Chain A
């Protein structure tokens, strides 16, 4: 690729949550729900002398993508690391629950989740965790009716309970800049020691949890460049896809067989992970 082409690209990673939503939805179709003027901010942060944000870092909007009715939930990476507090968590869970009601009433609305989150906001710990469980429940129930599309573009990545939510999405889209993992590097280093996981070793971290590796190990379905047009095209394809079983969680026996036979004394690296997580370990997403 030449520099002219790079210069023409419109970065998605650099957009904030609201700009991302505006970019993705069909022109004039966007209707934001619980916008900042509703002033639904965290009840818990002021008690800890932490500045709140009037949308609690989550943008919910209804509209269409290439004519398909969607509800987009976009997490703002720049507010508290995209963490899930009570209000932001309830906005996502509540939107998914309403989409489920509509889907059951034959009014399908496809959820698109822009996952940009270090997961639970520790200042609201148990409220965030409860909301994430509710998000998981809604995604699983929704998938009977509509696809649920997850996007991890970066820069924050997607961790903790929200990485589980990502793992539940019908289609998961990521860029190379994104990371996807259960435990953040600092937490692993804190719990298991620097020899196990050096949180400053960025090449190692991206080699194991970066978008390209997650795509190569079939934990991400579509790998995009940080190009807004590419990402929108991938999302538009995913929202129009028919519902089916989630391939990533079908092959329970195959995963157990392989993981129980693994040489756990060996230090994991990217190449070995690609061998272990090869295509045949994952199930078929066809049918119901």
Chain B
């Protein structure tokens, strides 16, 4: 294990939640997969972690790259096909927990040339298919949940849970690049982020959009204590129970948090059949 890896929140929480159980074989070092439990249920825990020796230079810091995208798809699809004959519901279909600490997708020439968008599509499809098939899918945000990386690893979960910590961020693009694309200064982007809720990077602002099932305080987000772990495990189990038979993302539509998203859907429904 490299020093970088030891500093990874994703790796730390994955190990803690699975009592340091051994990883499933066959995956690249940057995608850690552990079969464990969640209360009485079986669960597969998946994290993307930094790997200083990653053959793809642009994916050494925990980014979701070509290999990571396809490996995530493989990790999830294994569970879906193994439980294909089981009845839907938590008791039968294994839960899948995406432990999320992804700074971004990998930005590089090889990545574009060999179709990183398709690798990420394979991952997103696998998670969405698992959810539709009745696997409870939970996303636990312990660090950064950025852009395409988050779309590929976690954003298809039935329920999202985040640590309430300054190191936890959700966004569509890093500040430097966002400033360049919108022709603003970094200071300008930061200033707007203070008043425009969806532009903010912090998890408390994200929570006001209504997209989270829970935001949980912990004593140490880098090295979870036993108490932290208990609290997160209880929240995961509470989320699992809350899912019930719901295979959709409808619980994310919050009339206060995303008023326009709700209003558009209501008006669209009213016009859909044209009568």
Given known pairs A31-B274, A94-B264, the reply for A277 and B114 (CB within 8 Å) is: yes
With A164-B120, A264-B57 known as contacts, the answer to whether A126 contacts B109 (CB < 8 A) is no
B-contacting 9-mer, from A18-26, A135-143, A230-238: A135-143
Of A140, A191, A248, A276, the contact of B114 (CB 8 Å cutoff): A276
Which residues from 58 to 86 on chain A have a C-beta closer than 8 Å to any C-beta of chain B?
60, 62, 86
How many angstroms between the C-alpha atoms of A197 and B200 in the bound complex? 28
Tell me the smallest distance from the CB of A173 to a CB of chain B, in Å: 16
CB of B258 within 8 A of CB of A127, answer: yes
Which residues from chain A contact B155 at a C-beta distance below 8 Å? 129-130, 133, 136
Complex CA gap A197/B199 in Å reads 27
CB–CB A123/B182 < 8 A: yes
Contacts across chains A and B counted by CB atoms under 8 Å: 267
A129 touches B147 (CB 8 A): yes
User: Would you call B150 an interface residue if the criterion is a C-beta within 8 Å of the partner chain's C-beta atoms?
Assistant: yes
Q: Is the interface of B mostly helix, strand, loop or mixed?
A: helix
Nearest Cβ on chain A to B111's Cβ, whole angstroms: 7
Contact across chains for A260 and B105 when beta carbons are under 8 A apart: no
A182 at interface by CB-CB < 8 Å: yes
* Contact (Cβ within 8 A) A34 B249: no
Per-position binary interface string of chain B over residues 51-81, scored 1 when its CB falls under 8 Å from any chain A CB and 0 otherwise: 0000111100000001100110110010000
Do A137 and B156 have beta carbons less than 8 Å apart? yes
Which segment, of A6-14, A36-44, A221-229, faces chain B?
Answer: A36-44
Given contacts A182-B148, A249-B73, contact A126 B206 (CB under 8 A): yes
Q: A126-B199, A134-B249, A188-B109 are in contact. Are A62 and B121 (CB under 8 A)?
A: no
- Tell me which residues across on chain B come within 8 A of A277, comparing CB atoms: 114-115
Could you tell me if A60 and B111 are in contact, using CB atoms closer than 8 angstroms? no
Q: Which residues of B pack against A, CB within 8 Å?
A: 28, 55-58, 66-67, 70-71, 73-74, 77, 104-105, 107-122, 124-125, 128-129, 131-132, 147-148, 150-152, 155-156, 170-174, 176-178, 180-182, 192, 195-200, 206, 209, 211, 248-249, 252, 258-261, 263-265, 267-269, 271-272, 274
